[in-house]
Amino acid sequence: MKRNLLILILALSVCFALQACRDDNIDEQIKSNIESNYLPKNNENSANDLYYADYNEETEYIPASDKEFNGIVAIPYGFTYSGYSFNNDRYYFSATKNVNTNSSSFTVDMLNYIDLLTGEQHYICPDPLCLHSAPEECKYIELANNCFFTDNNVFYTFRQDITKNQSLMYLSFSMYKADLNKGIVENIYKCKDSASKNHLFLKALRGSDLYFQEYTRNETSESAKMMKESIVLSVYNTDSGKVRIINDFPEEYVDKSANLFYADEDNLYFISLTDIFTTDLSLENERLVYKLKENENFGSCYYDKETEELFFNVFNAKEKRGCMYVYANGVLDELDMPSENIYCFQLTKSTIYYSEYAPLFYGISSMGGEVYDYSGGKIYAANRNNRKESELIYDGGKDFIIANDSIRYIIIGDYLYFDYLKIENTGGTVDPIYSGCKIRINPKENTIKYLKFE
Ligand SMILES: [Zn+2]
């Protein structure tokens, strides 16, 4: 329930729809190009069987590290695309855990990490006997993957808590500091109103200033749909523990779903449904970085703190055109890449991994929507400083969905990670079901591992 609510809130207020402007004709074209009798081979018979394609099960893990991600800020986007973070050679993300009790079964979200040195996965809750099933039992439960690390194993995030006010119970958003070394999870800021009216998201860390956007739905009309949202940009200072308000978002920022994604010494960086822009630290003196043209969407977006470069890509599905840009010192340049059809990419210190816009159609879902992997099941790697050539490092075809509206892959060391969408194929419809598992593939060794969170 909470997860659904969170996704709904994300959809309503935070993110921008990658596919919002996709033309229906494109889908028709894609469909006419595919074999009409295709049925996915995954899990046709048993819902519980894990699908291994032609991979061997991983028996040995090759140690990796997070040094390729030092100073690289990944900007999450999309309705349900889950965020992640790195700290102390750990890859942090959130996974859905099934909880079965005598009387009910439900799911909770738990923050986990993969120790990149050993390849093992752990919940952030270190108690081996904890079932992580209820807030009374587990203080780490439901912490969001919106994590900002200030020290090794110390981070700030938020969650929704059940608040009791006399006889009323409601959900409300709070900001938390979690110190995994000391085993402390501390509430540091609480939204005043219930989650349906008042929520927050953490956005950027600049020194000891943690920027967050707080959303309030104002009752300007009797109809809930007509409620107007206001957004206040504030800073929580991690040294003093004090909150100060920076400014209200101008109405146009609210209308275009502007989101702060990075703050450097002098500037705030925003991405919206229509553009990327910067302002000064008081939210004034706006400067445009990029304005989307007709049929264009933003793909991926990263900031490299060390080189002070902003990387992003823009793609036009109609014309099968997608290019990358780099913005530094107030200057925007198109990046020479081996492809002119880039759908999404991942930036590391040495490499740009990317996929072209090559939708693979899986079928029609039981809800009537079309199911795609937009990456074509392929990932290329180009040297970040010498981008003339690229290497095809993964070609999985329709083995797995690795990039669509809700999931994105990530490459760490020799490994490809993505959320496992189990394909359920019944009565001619095809439904990708989020399973709570993450898959790790080593394309060189042709191995696979299911990282299950139980
Ligand atoms: Zn626990």
Number of alpha helices (DSSP H) and beta strands (DSSP E) in the chain: 3, 32
Cβ neighbors of 241 (< 8 A, separation 6 or more) are 188
Residue at 172 is within a domain: no
Q: What angle do CA 14, 17, 18 make, to 5 degrees?
A: 130
Residue-level pLDDT at 48: 54
Residue at 348 is within a domain: yes
Residue at 239 is within a domain: no
How far is ligand 1, taken at its centre, from the CA of residue 138, in Å?
Answer: 4
Residue-level pLDDT at 12: 35
- Taking CA atoms, 209 is separated from 84, 243, 300, in Å, by 20, 9, 25
How far is ligand 1, taken at its centre, from the CA of residue 159, in Å?
Answer: 15
- Determine which helix (DSSP H) or strand (DSSP E) holds 254, and give its type and residue range: helix 251-255
Residue at 135 is within a domain: yes
Residue-level pLDDT at 77: 60
* AA letter at 206: R
CB 208 within 8 A of CB 236: no
* AA letter at 227: M
How far is ligand 1, taken at its centre, from the CA of residue 154, in Å?
Answer: 17
CB 197 within 8 A of CB 173: no
How far is ligand 1, taken at its centre, from the CA of residue 121, in Å?
Answer: 14
How far is ligand 1, taken at its centre, from the CA of residue 337, in Å?
Answer: 45
Residue-level pLDDT at 101: 81
How far is ligand 1, taken at its centre, from the CA of residue 132, in Å?
Answer: 4
CB 434 within 8 A of CB 421: yes
Residue at 186 is within a domain: no
How far is ligand 1, taken at its centre, from the CA of residue 128, in Å?
Answer: 8
Q: What is the pTM of this model?
A: 0.87
Residue-level pLDDT at 222: 62
As given in the structure block, the two tokens for residue 372 are: 């795609």
How far is ligand 1, taken at its centre, from the CA of residue 256, in Å?
Answer: 39
Residue-level pLDDT at 253: 96
* AA letter at 243: V
How far is ligand 1, taken at its centre, from the CA of residue 144, in Å?
Answer: 15
Nearest to 296 by CA among 260, 337, 346, 342: 342
How far is ligand 1, taken at its centre, from the CA of residue 135, in Å?
Answer: 9
Residue-level pLDDT at 42: 39
Per the structure, how many domains does the chain have? 1
Q: Provide DSSP, 101-132.
A: -SS-EEEEEEEEEEETTT--EEES---TT---
Q: Give mean pLDDT in consecutive 10-residue pieces for the chain, a chain of 454 residues.
A: 40 34 42 36 48 94 97 72 86 89 86 96 94 92 93 95 84 96 97 92 96 88 69 97 97 94 95 96 96 95 96 94 96 96 96 97 94 96 95 96 91 96 89 89 97 86
Residue at 212 is within a domain: no
Residues that place a CB less than 5 A from ion ligand 1: 125, 130, 132, 138
For the beta sheet containing 184-190, the strands, ordered from the edge strand earlier in sequence to the opposite edge, are 148-151, 154-165, 168-179, 184-190
How far is ligand 1, taken at its centre, from the CA of residue 86, in Å?
Answer: 21
How far is ligand 1, taken at its centre, from the CA of residue 129, in Å?
Answer: 8
Question: Where does 140-265 have alpha helices with state H?
Answer: 251-255
CB 213 within 8 A of CB 198: no
Q: Which class for 350: exposed (0-12), middle (13-18), buried (19 or more C-beta within 10 A)?
A: exposed
Nearest to 105 by CA among 8, 1, 6: 1
Residue at 268 is within a domain: yes
How far is ligand 1, taken at its centre, from the CA of residue 272, in Å?
Answer: 37
Q: 291 is in which domain, residue-wise? A: 2-145+249-451
The span from the CA of 430 to the CA of 372, in Å, is: 10
CB 98 within 8 A of CB 83: no
Residue at 35 is within a domain: yes
